[in-house]
Amino acid sequence: MERLCFLFEIRPGTEAEYKRRHDDIWPEMRDALKAAGLRNYTIFRRGAQMIAYVEAPDVEAALAEMGASDVNRRWSEWFEDVVVGLVDERGELQRAEQVWHLD
């Protein structure tokens, strides 16, 4: 299982709204994430900084599948007023390098 950790920011003052939207995640979004092979998807927050962690058998394939899905496009549009930016200027996730892991 591959692991991915990435970081992004939300707009200050939108913390409660960001959480509310995830508390009510669309069933079709949950289904798409699982169908793409994503598991153990967790998002942590520290102020306006978000730290996301996810596992998949093939992270790149899962991200590509999600990136091509209509539900992901609609979900991303719905969060445009909350998320500052999910990717850098090259369109890449701002990944954190794994240093150590304990099973």
In tens, the pLDDT along 46-71 reads 999 999 999 999 999 999 999 999 99
**Among residues 22, 39, 74, 95, which one is catalytic?**
22
Rounded to an integer, what distance in angstroms lies between the CA atom of residue 10 and that of residue 83? 4
How many separate domains does the chain show? 1
pLDDT of res. 5:
98
Q: Taking 90 as the threshold, does the pLDDT of residue 88 lie above it?
A: no
Element (DSSP H or E) covering residue 70: helix 70-78
Which of 4-18, 34-48, 59-73, 82-96 is predicted least confidently? Answer: 82-96
Q: Is residue 101 part of a domain?
A: no
- Clarify whether 101 is annotated catalytic: no
C-alpha closest to that of 43 among 19, 66, 63: 19
What CATH number did the domain enclosing 19 receive? 3.30.70.100
Find the domain containing 45 and state its range.
2-96
Quick check: helix, strand or coil at residue 44? strand
